[in-house]
Amino acid sequence: MDFWIKAAQLILSLSILIVLHEFGHFIPARIFKTRVEKFYLFFDYKFSLLKKKIGETTWGIGWIPLGGYVKIAGMIDESMDTEQMSKPAEPWEFRSKPAWQRLIIMIGGVVVNVIVGVLIYIFVFYTWGEDQIKSTDLKAGMTVHPYMEKYGIQSGDNILEIDGMAVMNYNDINAGLLLRGQRNLKVQHADGKIETITLPEDIDYKLFTEGAFPTVGLRHKSTTIQHISTVYEDELIGIKKQDVILEIDGKPTKDVEVSELRKKQEYLVKVQRGKEEIELPIAGNETTALLNAAPSLKAGFQEGDKLLTIADKKIEFFDDIVGSLYHNKGKKVTASVLRDKDTVQLTVQVSMLGSIGFAPVGETPIDIESVKNIHYSFSESIGKGAQKGYQTLSDYASQMKFLFTKKGVGSMGGFGALGNMFPSAWNWEIFWMNTALISIILAFMNILPIPALDGGHVVFLLYEMITGKEAPQKVLEYAQYIGFFLILALVIYANGNDLFKWFTGG
C-alpha cells in the first residue's frame, strides 16, 4: 500500500509539472502564430490512452510515463518528422519564425518550471509557515558526524554561525558545507568555549566521499535495541542488507540461542524487507553466512538491550554509538548492555562501514521543543518563496559536481529515488514542497546544452543569432538522435541503479 501511495504522489506531481512545462512552449508558440500539432502528457509511441483534436492541435495522454511533449510544426523534435522538414517552409511553421521568437518558444518550458517552483514555495510558506530552530536554543548541542572530530568539532557542540550568518536551521549547515562553499564556523563547545573554525576548501568532497552527511542534526537518546538487522548481503542464503530479522524457527531473536543454530540441519528465518515479510530456509552449514551478515545476532545482542558502553566509551546519546563504531571500523570490540536488570558483556565485529546491525527504539530529539513554526504574511511569503527557489536551484546546480566522482555516479537515481522523496502517508505540505523541488530540477535539467533537451535547441538558436546562419538540418537531426540516445542511456542507468539498490537492499 505504501508503494502505491508514493507512486500516486509521484505521478500526480510529475503530471502537473509536465503539463505546465509543455504549456510554457505552447503559449508563446500560439502567441507567435506557430502551429502546434500535438500536446501530450507522456509519450504515445504507436498508440494513445486518450486523445482528442481541438482546432489544429491533438491533445492526448500517452502510455509511456517518461515525460511529455508538444509537437510544433516545422521543428526537429522528438517526433523526428523529417518528411515535413523536406517540404518548403510554411509561414505557420517554427522554422519560418525569427530566431528570437524561436528562442522564447524554446525557453518557455524552463521559465514556467522556475516560476511554478517559486509560486509553490510562496504558497507553502504562506499556508504552513516554516520550522526554525536556532542553534543557540539547543540545550544538548548538535549531533555531529564523527568525521568532523579531526577539525575540532564533535557531538555536543553547537554551531552558532556559518560564514557570519546565525544558524536558524541545522540543515543550513549541511547544505552550507556540502553545496554552498561555506567554510567558517563559529562553534560553541560543550564546555562553553567559543571559537571560529575554518574548514579546508575541499571539505565538500571529503564529506561526500566519506559519506559524512547529514553532517549535523538534533541529538537523541535512542540507545535501546528494537530490531536486529543485517549489514551485509549474502546471495547464497538470500539475505539482503538492512533485512530486519524477526524470527528464527518461530522464535523472536531475543529467545534464540545462537550456539544452538549450528546443530540444526535447517531452520527458517523470517525477515522484514521494507514492508514485506519473507521466510528464508537456511541450511545448518549456512549458519556462518547468516551470522556474518548480522554481527549483532552473532554477538548475542537481543531486542530490548540498552547499550551502556562500546569499546570502553560510555553511551548516553545515539551519536556516542555512531562515533564509537566509526572509530572501530573492521575491529572486534567489547560492548556492555543492560538486559533486564543484568549487565551483559558482548564481543562484536564492527563492519567496515562502522555498523553492527541493529535498529534503535526511536526517541524524540532532546531539543524538539526548541523547534518553532514561523508564520509569514503573504508579502513576506513572496520574499521567502523567491529566496527558496533561488537557493534550491543553486544547491541543485552545485551538487552536480559530485556526479563526476565514482561515488556520485553510483548514487544516481531514477523514478524510484524520486518516489522515495514522498512519504507513505499523504501529506500535502510535503507533496507541494517536493513538487516545487522537482519543478526546479526539471528546469535545470532541461536547460542543459544536451541535444533533444530544450537547452540543446537553445545552443543551436544562439549559434544562429550570433553567426547569422542556421545550423544545417542534417546536423540538427543527428544531434537529436545523439541526444535522445544519451538521455535514454542515462534514464536506463539511473533507474537501473534504483533496481540494483532495491535488489541488494542498498
- Looking at residue 72, what is its pLDDT? 92
Q: Of 237 and 403, which is predicted with more confidence?
A: 237
- Looking at residue 211, what is its pLDDT? 87
Q: Is 359 helix (H, G, I), strand (E, B) or coil?
A: strand
pLDDT averaged over the chain?
Answer: 88
- Please give the average per-residue pLDDT across 134-142, as a whole number: 91
pLDDT tens by residue, 351-362: 998 999 999 998
- Angle between helix 203-210 and 170-178 (nearest 10): 110
Band of pLDDT at residue 183, cut at 50, 70 and 90: very high
- Please give the average per-residue pLDDT across 93-122, as a whole number: 95
Band of pLDDT at residue 278, cut at 50, 70 and 90: very high
* Residue written as grid cell 513576506: 380
Strands (E) located in 207-250? 216-218, 225-229, 244-248
> Is the pLDDT confidence value at 499 over 50?
no
Band of pLDDT at residue 191, cut at 50, 70 and 90: very high
CB-based burial, 175-193: b 16+ in 10 Å, e otherwise:
bbbbbbebbebbbbeeeee
Q: How far apart are the first and last CA of the chain?
A: 21
- Looking at residue 217, what is its pLDDT? 94
- Looking at residue 43, what is its pLDDT? 86
pLDDT tens by residue, 335-393: 999 999 999 999 999 999 899 999 999 889 999 999 999 999 999 999 999 999 999 99
d(CA 412, CA 420): 13
CA angle 471, 476, 478 (to 5 degrees): 135
> Is the pLDDT confidence value at 79 over 60?
no
- Please give the average per-residue pLDDT across 176-199, as a whole number: 95
Lowest mean pLDDT among 33-42, 161-170, 269-278, 292-301: 269-278
Give the phi and the psi of residue 351 in degrees, each rounded to 5. -70, 170
Cβ proximity of 21 and 442 under 8 Å: yes
Residue 237's identity, in one-letter code, is I
> Is the pLDDT confidence value at 155 over 50?
yes
Residue 478's identity, in one-letter code, is Y
pLDDT tens by residue, 16-70: 999 999 999 999 999 999 999 999 998 888 889 999 999 999 999 999 887 888 9
Band of pLDDT at residue 487, cut at 50, 70 and 90: low
> Is the pLDDT confidence value at 186 over 90?
yes
- Please give the average per-residue pLDDT across 448-474, as a whole number: 83
d(CA 316, CA 192): 20
d(CA 227, CA 504): 20
Lowest mean pLDDT among 18-32, 295-309, 409-423, 491-505: 491-505
d(CA 206, CA 147): 9
pTM: 0.82
Band of pLDDT at residue 489, cut at 50, 70 and 90: low
Q: How far is CA 365 from CA 63, 138, 167, 351, in A?
A: 45, 11, 18, 27
> Is the pLDDT confidence value at 332 over 50?
yes
C-alpha cell recorded at residue 424: 507513505
Q: How far is CA 166 from CA 173, 228, 435, in A?
A: 10, 40, 29
> Is the pLDDT confidence value at 475 over 80?
no
d(CA 170, CA 317): 18
> Is the pLDDT confidence value at 413 over 80?
no
> Is the pLDDT confidence value at 279 over 90?
yes
> Is the pLDDT confidence value at 284 over 90?
no
- Looking at residue 484, what is its pLDDT? 65
Q: How far is CA 350 from CA 13, 57, 301, 354, in A?
A: 42, 63, 13, 6
Cβ proximity of 126 and 376 under 8 Å: yes
Domains of the chain in sequence order: 2-127+419-449 (no CATH), 135-218 (2.30.42), 225-360 (2.30.42.10)
- Concatenate the DSSP letters of all residues of 293-349 into one string: H-HHHHHT--TT-EEEEETTEEPSSHHHHHHHHHTTTT-EEEEEEEETTEEEEEEEE
Region at 357 (left for phi over 0; alpha for psi -120 to 50; beta for the rest): left
Lowest mean pLDDT among 149-153, 156-160, 282-286: 282-286
Lowest mean pLDDT among 111-115, 160-164, 251-255, 475-479: 475-479
- Looking at residue 260, what is its pLDDT? 81
SS3 content of the chain, % helix, strand, coil (to 5): 45, 25, 30
- Looking at residue 58, what is its pLDDT? 94
d(CA 427, CA 440): 20
- Looking at residue 502, what is its pLDDT? 43
Most confident of 26-30, 77-81, 414-418: 26-30
- Looking at residue 321, what is its pLDDT? 97
> Is the pLDDT confidence value at 200 over 50?
yes
Cβ burial of 500 (10 Å; 0-12, 13-18, 19+) is exposed
- Looking at residue 500, what is its pLDDT? 41
CA angle 341, 342, 347 (to 5 degrees): 140
